């Protein structure tokens, strides 16, 4: 991670007209401070008379020192998968609904980012997942996820039947609507809705959460972050693997999914005083009186 920051990439929520005004306001603010500002190509299409260079995400990942995302958690998920392999830190400005990953607001972003540009920030490392699908021992699909890797039935059909191994050791066979392999970041997303525990994002662990298991004794389990997870498909009428709701792949009988911790981390920057527990209280409304 480079500091002080010189090249700043701005990325807005895809096809959101509401992003244009705060994005331009932030771009002008950064340019006035002598920073080189670039805007992603899709966001640039929403801007009128954009004076800043428009670049693809892949082009920006090579030259950016810092990425500022204006949008929701869904936008941040996709951006983290693109920029984390290049060690580019991320700041999130929330224009979505929950905002677990995007903790600044359009109202306080200029003041907060000004302090962060001066070095007043805290860095948080978040792990990502690498998923590979093997068919007859040949790789047919691979990708990264920030929240989760999900194996699920893609249409209304019979239950998924699969076998799970951890570090080569047999864990169980299961019939369910699917299985979620989640990072600590994803523990407040789909995994939480399926009954999994909330994990502090600083933990080096993964959680496996069955989706509507046929047997009630099949419960979520938390394993070491360095574990190698293997999921072997035993019944596949209509089965799909999905990464963070952005990427999916249709599977066949006897396909094997291998899920591991990705070698690089996502680096999120927060204002000084940021508290994960405060975020939980606010987003999950734990601070409301009974």
**In a domain? residue 48:** yes
Q: How many CB atoms sit inside 10 A of residue 289's CB?
A: 3
Going residue by residue through the chain, which has 290 residues, state the pLDDT in tens, using 9 for 90 and above: 777 899 999 999 877 778 889 999 999 999 999 999 999 999 998 888 889 999 999 999 999 999 999 998 888 998 999 999 999 999 999 986 767 888 899 999 999 999 999 999 999 999 999 999 999 999 999 999 999 999 998 776 678 899 999 999 999 999 999 999 999 999 999 999 999 999 999 999 999 999 999 888 889 999 999 999 999 998 767 889 999 988 999 999 899 999 999 999 999 999 999 999 988 998 888 876 55
Q: Within this chain, do residues 179 and 87 fall inside the same structural domain, yes or no? A: no
Q: Within this chain, do residues 60 and 81 fall inside the same structural domain, yes or no? A: yes
Q: Within this chain, do residues 238 and 135 fall inside the same structural domain, yes or no? A: yes
What's the rounded Cα separation, in Å, for the pair 107 and 77?
Answer: 23
* Measured CA distances, 231 to 74, 143, 241 (Å): 26, 16, 11
What's the rounded Cα separation, in Å, for the pair 133 and 259?
Answer: 9
Amino acid 158: pLDDT? 73
Q: Within this chain, do residues 212 and 242 fall inside the same structural domain, yes or no? A: yes
Q: Within this chain, do residues 167 and 255 fall inside the same structural domain, yes or no? A: yes
- Catalytic position from the list 65, 73, 244, 255: 73
| Final residue belonging to a domain, choices 72, 87, 119 | 119
**In a domain? residue 270:** no
Tokens (6 digits) for 117 = 């540009």
Q: CATH number of the domain that 218 lies in?
A: 2.60.200.30
- Domain range for residue 165? 128-263
Q: Within this chain, do residues 132 and 115 fall inside the same structural domain, yes or no? A: no
- Burial tier of 15 (Cβ tally within 10 Å: 0-12, 13-18, 19+): exposed
Q: Within this chain, do residues 197 and 80 fall inside the same structural domain, yes or no? A: no
What's the rounded Cα separation, in Å, for the pair 164 and 241?
Answer: 15
- The structural domain count of the chain equals 2
**In a domain? residue 284:** no
Q: Within this chain, do residues 86 and 209 fall inside the same structural domain, yes or no? A: no
Tokens (6 digits) for 35 = 């920073």
SS3 240: strand
**In a domain? residue 277:** no
Amino acid 143: pLDDT? 96
What's the rounded Cα separation, in Å, for the pair 14 and 11?
Answer: 9
Q: Within this chain, do residues 135 and 47 fall inside the same structural domain, yes or no? A: no
Query: Per 3-state DSSP, what percentage of the chain is helix, strand, and coil (rounded to 5)?
Result: 25, 40, 35
Closest by CA position to 270, among listed 117, 128, 116, 147 = 116
SS3 211: strand
Contact predicate 243/149, CB 8 Å = yes
Amino acid 286: pLDDT? 87
SS3 278: helix
Q: Angle 109-117/20-32 helices, nearest 10 degrees?
A: 30
| Final residue belonging to a domain, choices 87, 119, 151 | 119
**In a domain? residue 2:** no
Amino acid 103: pLDDT? 86
SS3 62: helix
- The verdict on whether 73 is a catalytic residue reads yes
Strand partners, 149: 181, 243
**In a domain? residue 18:** yes
**In a domain? residue 281:** no
SS3 110: helix
Closest by CA position to 204, among listed 258, 261, 257, 266 = 261
| Final residue belonging to a domain, choices 101, 119, 137 | 119
Q: CATH number of the domain that 91 lies in?
A: 3.40.50.10330
Q: Within this chain, do residues 198 and 234 fall inside the same structural domain, yes or no? A: yes
**In terms of pTM, does the model score above 0.85?**
yes
φ/ψ of residue 70, rounded to 5: -110, 110
Q: Within this chain, do residues 149 and 107 fall inside the same structural domain, yes or no? A: no
Q: How many CB atoms sit inside 10 A of residue 34's CB?
A: 7
Q: Within this chain, do residues 139 and 248 fall inside the same structural domain, yes or no? A: yes
Amino acid 13: pLDDT? 87
**In a domain? residue 251:** yes
């Amino acid at each position: 991670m480079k500091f002080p920051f010189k090249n700043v990439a701005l990325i807005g929520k895809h096809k959101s007209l509401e992003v244009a005004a705060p994005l331009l306001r932030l771009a002008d603010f950064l340019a006035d401070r002598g920073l080189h500002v670039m805007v992603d190509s899709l966001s640039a299409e929403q801007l009128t008379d954009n004076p800043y260079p428009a670049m693809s995400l892949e082009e920006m990942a090579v030259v950016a020192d810092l990425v500022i995302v204006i949008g929701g958690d869904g936008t941040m998920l996709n951006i983290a998968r693109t920029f984390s392999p290049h060690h580019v830190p991320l700041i999130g400005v929330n224009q979505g609904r929950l905002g677990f990953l995007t903790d600044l607001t359009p109202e306080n972003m200029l003041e907060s980012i000004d302090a962060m540009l001066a070095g007043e920030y805290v860095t948080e490392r978040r792990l990502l997942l690498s998923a590979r699908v093997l068919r007859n021992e040949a790789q047919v699909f691979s990708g990264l996820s920030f929240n989760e890797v999900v194996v699920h039935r893609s249409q209304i059909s019979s239950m998924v039947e699969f076998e799970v191994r951890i570090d080569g050791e047999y864990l169980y066979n299961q019939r369910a609507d699917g299985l979620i392999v989640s990072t600590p970041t994803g523990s407040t997303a789909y995994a939480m809705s399926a009954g999994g525990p909330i994990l502090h994002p600083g933990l080096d662990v993964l959680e496996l959460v069955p989706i509507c298991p046929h047997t009630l004794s099949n419960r979520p389990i938390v394993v070491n972050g360095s574990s190698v997870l293997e999921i072997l498909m035993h019944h596949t009428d209509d089965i799909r693997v999905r990464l963070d709701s952005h990427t999916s792949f249709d599977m066949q009988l006897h396909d094997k999914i291998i899920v591991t911790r990705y070698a690089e981390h996502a680096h999120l920057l927060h204002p000084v005083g940021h508290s994960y527990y405060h975020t939980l209280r606010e987003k999950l409304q734990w601070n409301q009186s009974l």
